[in-house]
Chains A and B, each alone.
Chain A
Amino acid sequence: MFAQLTELLADFVERPEQGKLTLLVSTKTDASFLVHHFLSFYLKAGCKVCFLALLQSFSHYSIVAQKLGLSLTTAKERGQLVFLEGLKVSHDIFFGKQQSLESRPFQFISGDGSNLKALYEFVQTALSPAVGGDSWKCPVLIVDDLSVLLSLGARPTDVLDFIHYCRVTVNSLLKGNMVVMEHSSDDSEDEENELLVRALRHQSNRILWAEGLATGFCKDVHGQLTIIHRSSWEKKAEKDLLQVYQYKIQDKNVTFFARGMSAAVL
């Protein structure tokens, strides 16, 4: 969890906002620090988290979380975190391991024309409140990242259906939050991916857009983050609110500053 980012987003660990869809987009840069931020933020806030990790292994996320002062293993054991390791599951399906219960969410890869319903059901069971009632705050779904599903052969409408149902369950019924990571680029020729990003931008309440610097790589400024608060009726804002910052990723922290105000320049 990066304190500065929490401050910029006006999000509080004590009472995180509810029922919001946050879209993380990266253009020509690696914005995984945002995923790590939200993962640790919601775990620290005491939310029940379902994490669909399609991009990296558990140990990767675990090591990064440890640097941020959090143990994913403990969170898993306490039942706070439900972790789906996409790499492992898809590998099992591709290389002929027995169809286990664990690989059911990824049934669509096997090419039997099925959609992402099984994956949605996994999310639903993971986040539905336990019968006895548990002490966790609002449920949170984090996906890193959605374009992997496209690469695994799902059609964009399948992915949109999946997101739609997650919104129904997580955002609308359970009043929880969703954080979805995506890649995008203006000159990309991957039309399916661009369609997915645009459709998600219409649905999301908040967009965090990380871009590499247009002028190229720099040692002291790693990129630019645009925070877009989508206009909403409750906030009486008809126009999207835009904040632009530049950031530098350090070992255990990320510093944000106004454009052109890097410590190296001043």
Chain B
Amino acid sequence: MLGKLAAGGAEGLLLIQDSVSCEGRTLLKSFAAASAQRGECVQVLSFDIPEEEFKAGFSAAAASQLLYHDAFRDPLGWTGQGCGLALEEFGTSELVARLTATTAGPSTVVLDSISWLLLRLPFPRVCQVLAQLPKRAKVAGLKISRIVALLHGDLHQTGQLEALHTLARVVVKVEPAPEPVPGGDGAARVAVTLHRKTGGKVMQKKEYFTVLPDFILKCLGELPEGGVSREENDQEVPVTVDPAANLTFNLRLSEAERQAKESVPLPYQFSEEKKSSLLQTPANLGKIYYEPDAADDVDEEDPDDDLDV
């Protein structure tokens, strides 16, 4: 499914969500390279990394299709160089003006990364721009077929992430592979893809992928079902094992033992015999005769006087 999406199957907003443990920039670049290969114009708005770092690794043909809007060098106007894209310019009309000025053909807009913006701009503003940009660009005569945005998932609250997910047509979550994959030479990662199709159908898939030189995406097949719910399986295992199987002592009662156990009267249970035996005064009562010693000094008021307390 990921291969189809990269090959042009995705329209609208496409989010690539990564985390510290697994970066998603190479996947972002492979989407950009695939678009460039189809002859589309790729407009890159880059906040996170410098131009040369972003362009590193692209083939010459693909690099020539990249239109770079540098928002890395001076986004806040601190150095006063005034080149590239500034943070205040991240509004729908400003962006449309900027994007239409460079090309008129069908474009893919690449945002690297949207997290940078979300940390600095109000959340609704970013969402508005993402939603309105394709429509407004269409009015201005530019067809934006998709917006591919990189999102660092661990920098934002879950509420914001969910709001962005509902806004997006495709959400690809990148995760490290749980185990080495055959054919993946140890570099495979897992992509959990959620695709809302135009017909309203929603598809979700979990598959292995790797990125080859020149940012060619290679899918290594889907994760087996068992692989998806491995954690749940692990939890089920102890349930089927009988914990009382190999004990060195006996936990069970035979029928005779059970009867013997049940016939024992418990201390708090009062039977007639027990009651009578307790209430009956025995015939020959034991008596204590006490003759005070001559040396005894009995204090009537404090009989415990001789105790060392």
- Chain A residues packing against B (C-beta within 8 Å): 117, 120-121, 124, 156-157, 160-161, 164-165, 168-169, 171-172, 195, 198-199, 201-203, 230-231, 233-234, 237-240
Contact = CB atoms under 8 A, between A and B. Distances in A.
A168 B72 contact: yes
Which 3 residue pairs are nearest across A and B when measured between Cβ atoms? A238-B187, A233-B57, A172-B50
Nearest to A203: B48
B17 to A, nearest CB: 12
B50 A168 contact: yes
B23 A230 contact: yes
B211 A172 contact: no
B78 interface: yes
Interface of B: 20-21, 23, 26, 48, 50, 52, 56-57, 72-76, 78-79, 115, 119-120, 152, 154-155, 176, 186-187, 189, 210-211
Nearest to A238: B187
Contacts of A168: 50, 72-74, 79
Contacts of A201: 20
Contact of B120 (A121, A157, A231, A233): A157
A202 B56 contact: no
Contacts of A157: 119-120
A161 B76 CA distance: 8
B20 A198 contact: yes
B20 A234 contact: no
Nearest to A124: B79
Contacts of A121: 78
Contacts of A203: 48
Given A231-B23, A238-B189, A238-B211, A202 B78 contact: no
Contacts of B115: 199, 202
Given A165-B78, A238-B187, A198 B155 contact: yes
B155 A199 contact: yes
A239 B152 CA distance: 17
Given A120-B78, A161-B120, A202-B152, 15 more contacts: A124-B79, A156-B119, A165-B79, A168-B50, A168-B73, A168-B74, A171-B50, A172-B52, A198-B20, A198-B152, A201-B20, A203-B48, A230-B23, A231-B26, A240-B21
Contacts of B48: 202-203
Contact of A233 (B21, B26, B189): B26
